[in-house]
Structure 1
Amino acid sequence: MTSTTNTKKKLIEVAIPLEAINAASAREKSIRHGHPSTLHLWWARRPLAACRAVLFAQLVDDPSSDLEKFPTHEAQEVERKRLFGIIAELVKWENSTNEEVLERARAEIRKSCGGELPPVYDPFSGGGSIPLEAQRLGLPAYGSDLNPVAVMIGKAMIEIPPKFKDRDPIHPGVKDRQFYRNAEGLAEDVKYYGEWMREKAWERIGHLYPQADLPKHLGGGKATVVAWIWARTVPSPDPAFAGVPVPIASSFLLTPMKGKEAWIEPVVDKATKTIIYKVRHGGTVDELARAKDGTKSGRGANFVCVLSGTAITPEYVKESGRAGRMGQALIAIVAEGKGGRYFVEASADHEAIAFSTKPSWKPETALPADPRNFWTIDYGLTTFGSLFTDRQLVALNTFSDLVEEVRQKAEEDAIASGLSADGVELRAGGTAAKAYSEAISVYLSFLISKLADKGSTICTWDAGPASNKSASGRSARVATVRVTFGRQSLPMTWDFAEVNFFSSSVGALETVLKTLATPIQYFGSSTFQMELTSLGSGAPTR
């Protein structure tokens, strides 16, 4: 018996233009406008440019596989260089929806695959980069994942947009164009109904988000609050001040920006056993350094009582938290007005308003007993609900209730705009009024998830750099709020920033909605669809 060896190789087995792929992948990290990563957080999301290039190189034959057409090494190199040129154009972010560039790539795939575009299946699709790029190349895309969040991200990127591509929006507002490409109409509706949801929420809970009164030296008048800065508190361990709540804050620094320095100073009155938090501007190097350390004393949960100088040990903090004696005190307000950003002293009225409301529902699901990644449990914060203030929970509950109202309103508007009232749901393959309204609600559910990421007590205030210029000479980032999932764990926070969901700044619904709606318009460029199904509930389907 004689054996034959198949020497046919794909391009990826021989060579690919790594420099072009790496450059495009690196650049992608700085792209936020329209990038799928802004749709919803997912860990270890693969670069789109790399996925697109690898899919192409896996399917296209290397020139050495066709010796009749490319008999010499030189001829093969010339052809390989031509294919590299296609990849170099294909990986550019600007060409993500360029049909001319994409069709050139599809033509090469057809030539190497018997005139057809073969299917691609990703069994652990995660953030959906591989199925998305397969779909962009015209390949029938299949995928699955064990995590339901990954499944929904995949559906939102790959399955839903093609169902409603090239449609005008259905909302009753002004439409400034005659034709909408890809999922632009869907993106427009998501933005419209998200704004409608914000307006209705403001009518119901806007009184919980008052404006800040600016002092005379800041020009006076009112300013919209960007965030309230809170410090967790425990009772003073000193018997002389027993029961008096004292701050355990990792930092009192608001901004070290040169010429705009601002920090919080706790002013203590031992006679009355009270603490008032003053916002100071300017300051010496030593004052700013002390402010940066808050009431910390070394690493971990080691603090100092501002009333007596007594050490507050990690064991004492844990004991206080487990016993329900850990509280919170408002220590500063960050506001924004015509003159820019202001740091305003804490207000008793603002603190009272924050404490004046209670949520009708609170998530009581226990946090995982994993002390390596869930640090809050040791300090008495043992449920998901305990990671939010009451005001945050009231707001998130309100937004959640409004999603159902949006679904009903959008279905009525869709019928009024001419879509069929067939009653077929999205999951049943519907494409008319009911399915469309459900599609909008999927994205607005993502909106609430993103707001929760920016609106918990794990979010801390990032004071930013001391210079307004980075090492490259560009404008440096400004002070802002860190999100809950800055890493793949839930750390314990000692001071935190509660964003105003109704401002127009960091963490606000208006700002988050833009990052959500923008990428939707880039989806649905292919007529191929993909349905993701959890592996636990059946086989993947298309």
Structure 2
Amino acid sequence: MAPRRKLIEVSLPLEEINAQSAREKSIRHGHPSTLHLWWARRPLATARAVLFAQLVDDPSNFVEDYRAEAASGGFEDPDAWAEHRVQQERQRLFGLIIRMVDWDNINDEDLFDEVRAEIMRSTNNDPPAILDPFAGGGTIPLEAQRLGLEAHASDLNPVAVLINKALIEIPPKFAGREPVFPRAAGQRNAWPKATGLAEDVRQYGRWIREEAERRVGHVYPQATLTNGAKSTAIAWIWARTVSCPNPACGIEMPLVRSWWLGKKKGKEAYIVPRVIDGRVDYSIGHDPVGGPLGAQQGTVSRTGAICIGCASPVDLAYIRLEGRAKRIGERLVAVVTEGNRARVYLPPDDEQVRAAKTERPSDAPPGEIPDQALGFRVQLYGMKSYADLFTDRQLNVLTTFCDLVIEARERVLADALESGYAGGSRLEDGGEGAAAYADAVATYLGFAVSRMTDYQSSFATWSNHPKNEVVVHVFGRQAIPMVWDFAEANPLTAGNGSFEIMVQAVSRSLERLPAANAGTAVQADAQRASSTLALISTDPPYYDNIGYSDLSDYFYIWLRRALRDVHPTTLSTILVPKAEELVANPFRHGGKDGARDFFEDGFEAVFAGARRTASTAYPITVYYAFKQSESDESGTASTGWETILGSMVRSGWTVTATWPVRSEFSGRMVGNGTNALASSVVLALRPRPEDAPVTDRRGFIAAMRRELGRALRELQQGGIAPVDLPQSAIGPGMGVFSRYAKVIESDGSEMTVRSALARINEVLDELLTEQEGDFDPTSRFAIAWYRGHGYDAGAFGDAENLARARATVVATLERDGILTARAGKVQLHRPAALPAAYDVLADQHTSAWEALHHAIRIQESEGIPAAGVFLHNASQRSDGAVDLDLVKELAYLLFQVAEKNGWTKDAISFNGVATSWFELVEAGRVVESVSPATTLDFGSLDD
């Protein structure tokens, strides 16, 4: 008997999932991601929906039951009734998903009781345990726990293991308990979930903050204002320096990316450097007229620096040599204090300079940065250890905070015993008494210190944005590039980068965790973990995109300093284990080929282990979001996912469904023309039958053309960004490829995954081109002309020939308002050049091309609501309504053309409209007049 199809293998409410996944990026207070930084987390909304749909039966499994229901009720058309019931049930399940992915409903226990009950019905009250063997930041195990499932997290990286323990293992142990901090328990009657534990984190965090003030407060003196008053400094701005190589100059030249401190109108501030008697003096300027402009914005760029004393150019090679010789210095150039609704910027004085000059602590955390590591560039400048990424003052203060976490644990232990806790064993040994509770509180306090290091570093920077003059944390992306001028936050204030803010973030996150159903987080490599009987849902590493182990050492050295006695096994190594990390790191595996082989062999072992213990009742789910392509004689393919998909296919899996899930805001592209993924694709996989058929190349391509065409429209309707369409199409294409035991090439050899991926790209290009036939003559002409000329002018004769081949003429196209024909030249209008007074309701011949271009113009000038209203009006005309589906298809098609031609600005516009489509349609619905719908009336049978 064939296993029941699960909802994820048939249908999902993608638009709503995508909208909530994108929205989640802007939610900070109380979001689990604020517990501790991890790179490339999946949105909670996505994981929640995927897990639910992975377990819940699709209503199409019950067609025969619905037919029988119709017969017993006397309904004349059982097939129509069955289809109605399938759609009705599917919409009911969609309603549950739509409600549960909304962050505003995260604490609605009645809703989640419904969700859990639905899972229990589909699993015969025996749901499988969920395992993520690449648990990382813990999104999937956490959401499994929220859905009432037994959650297991596994990761080789100890920082990831600690994060997962803090999310799913520790909170259930102490759920519902009162805080032990003296007098804290009396503040309220009930402490649901982990709110009592969160309160203790706040209270003991406050004690650490106060004790730190007593011990190291003197190294952060108040600043003296111009009127002589004292004010608390919130940040210090530093510039790295080298000696000018010009012998006639030789000054301590500052290396600064920008002299600007603040650009708020009327409150502008910038640093004014002056060379006086061979020494650089720094003051603060406020007159915007005299502010830095153009090349004067700073002194350093990607190619080198300029000396402010003699204007000599200084090559980066010289700066690197100075760095390796330990001759790069640091100079305080400004002090920032909090003023009346604005920052106050002061020049450095002797008191501030002296306070910052502390001795480097002898017990600073050990750990060497590899000579070559993914995402690191600092080694070129002589920074060899992780401690080199911090100033001496920061090292002193951070070690003090780590020591205070250890002391705070002893205070928690004493207070817990006083509150009536039994002593018990330690947390790592499975204890739940006073000792374990003290370990738990210390763990979250250690996270607060670790989070603080993301700001307390000489690689944090200062933002001079008018609305956000703050210290910017180190990990704005998954790398540590070289930073020239940096910002040192005051950890003892209540401002950005302070310990108080970090404790607030950790405790808010903790108190909103589900804290139910005991979960486990273990340190293990994915090959071993995947062989368990648990059902897998996982988000594996992205080939060589992120060097997790090297990056996480940045935090690990501080977590180990604070929590080694609390988690002795997890934190037993000096640095994060690296040899077995499943990342294609060329620096670790003898180059590019060795890295690919290591990655490929490792993933094949992971999926082979999972295949051996796989349940036939449920599909596993795997996320991918990798984009990197290479070309050879077989075509263009994605290197990273050639490897991981090949591992799946060779391990005996077949793809049963793929779904694009957007996790970023719309229209995100990089300015140099390359693109950034706005989406992930989730694959549902089942074990491939042992008797799977064999086909040849022609049969594979024919099957793919049939199925990829349908999938292409589903991807476009599902809100996939045009920038991600080629990557997303890999899923449906591989779904065809992976159902065969093998595909035979014309020469008799077995088709490789690389060749299959290249064929998928070719068929996708063909299908996109074939979509041109769906458009009106005006749009077909414009597409062809744009493909050859863009928005540049071309010969009138060529345009006329092209137009006649599409049953129109240039004169008609000019009257339609899409181009101009002057002096023997024809040129398409750019969106920005179209008339703002255009009335789509008055135009009887609006083409898809014209509608798209006006929509772009309005969205980019007036915003999404106005563009949504325009499209709605275009679709509602009684005399030739515009087909909005075709307008959207056109955006996808033109994006492909623009990207291939390197027309970045155009590509951004087309991508922006397509990825905003859901919002545009919703904006149009605001003005829509709803008319009664015509539906089948199934009478009393419809319940």
TM-score over 0.5 for the pair: yes
Q: Distance in 2 between matches of 1:292 and 1:308?
A: 14
1:18 is matched with 14
CA contact (8 A) 1:304 1:311 kept: yes
- Relative distance call for 1:46 and 1:536 in structure 2 (3 A) is closer
- Give the CA deviation at 1:292: 6.6
Name the Cα RMSD after superposition. 1.9
Contact kept in structure 2, 1:232 and 1:329, CA below 8 Å: yes
Match of 1:30 among 26, 29, 40: 26
Query: Is the contact made by 1:49 and 1:92 (CA closer than 8 Å) also made in structure 2?
Result: yes
Which amino acid in 2 is paired with 1:265? V
Could you say which residue in structure 2 is the equivalent of 1:462? 463
Say if 1:537 and 1:51 are closer, same or farther in 2 by CA, change over 3 A: closer
Find the counterpart in structure 1 of residue 427 from structure 2: 426
Specify whether residues 41 and 108 from structure 1 end up closer, same or farther in structure 2 by C-alpha distance, changes over 3 A only.
same
List per-residue Cα deviations over 1:90-142 (Å, max 9, x = no partner). 11112223211111011111111112232111111111111111111111111
Corresponding position: 1:131 with 2:135:
no
Paired residues for 1:367-516 under 5 Å: 367-370=369-372, 373-422=375-424, 424-465=425-466, 477-516=467-506
Shift of 1:538: 7.4
- 2:527, 2:128 → 1: CA distance? 26
Are the equivalent residues in 2 in contact too, given 1:251–1:291 (CA < 8 A)? no
Q: After superposition, where does 1:95-494 map in structure 2 within 5 Å?
A: 95-174=105-184, 175-216=186-227, 220-242=228-250, 244-269=251-276, 272-284=277-289, 287-289=291-293, 293-296=297-300, 299-300=301-302, 302-338=304-340, 340-370=342-372, 373-422=375-424, 424-465=425-466, 477-494=467-484
Q: Do the aligned partners of 2:7 and 2:56 also contact (CA within 8 Å) in 1?
A: yes
Number of aligned residue pairs: 517
Structure 2 unpaired stretches of 5+: 68-81, 535-943
Residue 522 of structure 1 corresponds to 512
- How many Å separate the matches in 2 of 1:519 and 1:430? 23
Give, as a single letter, the amino acid of the residue that structure 2 aligns with 1:295: T
Quote the Cα distance in structure 1 between the aligned partners of 2:65 and 2:285.
76
Q: Could you tell me how far apart the structure 2 residues matched to 1:90 and 1:356 are? A: 52
Give the 3 Å change call, closer, same or farther, for CA 379–7 of structure 1 in structure 2. closer
SS at structure 2 position matched to 1:491: coil
Distance in structure 2 (CA, Å) of the matches to 1:294 and 1:173: 54
Using the TM superposition, give the Cα deviation of residue 524 of structure 1 relative to its aligned residue in structure 2, in angstroms. 3.8
Q: Distance in 1 between matches of 2:189 and 2:98?
A: 34
- Structure that is richer in helix per residue: 2
Q: Provide the rounded CA distance (Å) in 1 between the counterparts of 2:258 and 2:195.
A: 44
Counterpart contact for 2:63–2:83, Cα < 8 Å: no
How much does 1:39 deviate?
0.4
Maintained 8 Å contact 1:464/1:478: yes
- Paired position in structure 1 for 2:40: 44
CA 78–538 in structure 1, closer or farther in 2 if over 3 Å, else same: closer
User: In the TM superposition, what is the alpha-carbon distance from 1:357 to its structure 2 partner?
Assistant: 3.4
Identical pairs, percent:
44
Q: Does the 8 Å CA contact 2:149/2:517 hold for their aligned counterparts?
A: no
Q: Does structure 2 retain, via aligned residues, the 8 Å contact 1:168–1:180?
A: yes
1:519 to partner: Cα distance: 0.6
Deviation at residue 189 of structure 1 after TM alignment: 0.4
Q: String of CA shifts for 1:343-373, please: whole Å, max 9, x gaps.
A: 1111122111111333232344221222662
CA contact (8 A) 1:8 1:64 kept: no
Q: For the structure 1 residues 194 and 371, does the alpha-carbon distance in structure 2 shift closer, same or farther, using more than 3 Å as the test?
A: same
Query: 1: CA distance between counterparts of 2:15 and 2:373?
Result: 42
The one-letter code matched in structure 1 to 2:243 is P
TM-score (structure 1 length as normaliser):
0.92
Q: 1:436-458 CA deviation, whole Å, 9 max, x = no partner?
A: 00001111111111111111111
Query: Greater relative contact order: 1 or 2 (C-alpha under 8 angstroms, separation 6 or more)?
Result: 1
Corresponding residue SS for 2:479: coil
CA separation of 1:512 and 1:291: change in aligned 2, threshold 3 A: farther
- Is the CA contact (8 Å cut-off) linking 1:230 and 1:328 kept in structure 2? yes
CA distance in 2, matches of 1:59, 1:379: 52
Q: 1:273 to 1:292 in 2, by over 3 A?
A: closer
SS at match of 2:63: coil
Deviations 1:347-401 (A, max 9, x none): 1221111113332323442212226621111111111111111000000110111
Shift of 1:536: 8.3
Distance verdict in 2 for CA 1:440–1:55, change over 3 Å: same
Work out the CA distance in 2 between the residues paired with 1:431 and 1:371: 40
> Cα deviation per residue 1:261-290 (whole Å; 9 max; x = unaligned)?
100010121xx2121101111221x63325
C-alpha separation in 1, matches of 2:238 and 2:362 = 23
Q: Report if the CA contact (8 A) 1:224-1:336 is conserved.
A: yes
1:277-328 deviation per Cα after TM superposition (whole angstroms, max 9, x unaligned):
01111221x63325872113xx315111112112221121111111121111
Q: Matched residue of 2:292: which SS?
A: helix
User: Aligned equivalents of 1:512 and 1:328: distance in 2?
Assistant: 27
* Counterpart residue identity of residue 451, structure 2: K
Instruction: Please name the residue that 2:748 is paired with.
Output: none
TM superposition score normalised by structure 2: 0.53
Deviates more, 1:114-123 or 1:33-42: 114-123
Q: In the alignment, which residue of structure 2 is the partner of 1:471?
A: none
Cα distance in 1 between the residues matched to 2:515 and 2:66: 35
Q: Is the 8 A contact 1:97 1:525 kept in 2?
A: no
Using the alignment, how far apart are the partners of 2:13 and 2:231 within structure 1?
A: 53
Work out whether residues 150 and 517 of structure 2, in 8 Å CA contact, stay in contact via their aligned partners in 1. no
Equivalent residues in 2 for 1:29-108 (5 A)?
29-71=25-67, 72-108=82-118
Aligned twin of 1:8: 4
Give the direction of change, closer, same or farther, for the CA distance of 1:537–1:431 in structure 2 (3 Å limit): farther
SS in 1 for 2:291: helix
Alpha-carbon distance change, 372 to 141 in structure 1, aligned in 2, over 3 angstroms: closer
Secondary structure of the structure 2 residue equivalent to 1:160:
helix
Q: Deviations over 1:119-171 (max 9, x none)?
A: 11111111111111111111111120111111111000000000000111000
What is the one-letter code of the residue matched to 1:345? Answer: P
Q: Secondary structure at the match of 2:131?
A: strand
Q: Which amino acid aligns with 1:461?
A: W
SS of the residue 1:331 aligns to: strand
Unaligned runs of at least 5 residues, structure 1? 466-476
Write the distance in 1 (CA, Å) between the matches of 2:426 and 2:66: 53
Tell me which stretches of 4 or more aligned residues in structure 1 moved more than 6 Å.
none
Distance, in Å, in 2 between the alignment partners of 1:363 and 1:123 is 30
Report the secondary structure of 1:254's partner residue: strand
CA offsets, 1:454-502, max 9 Å, x none? 111111111114xxxxxxxxxxx41111211111111111110011101
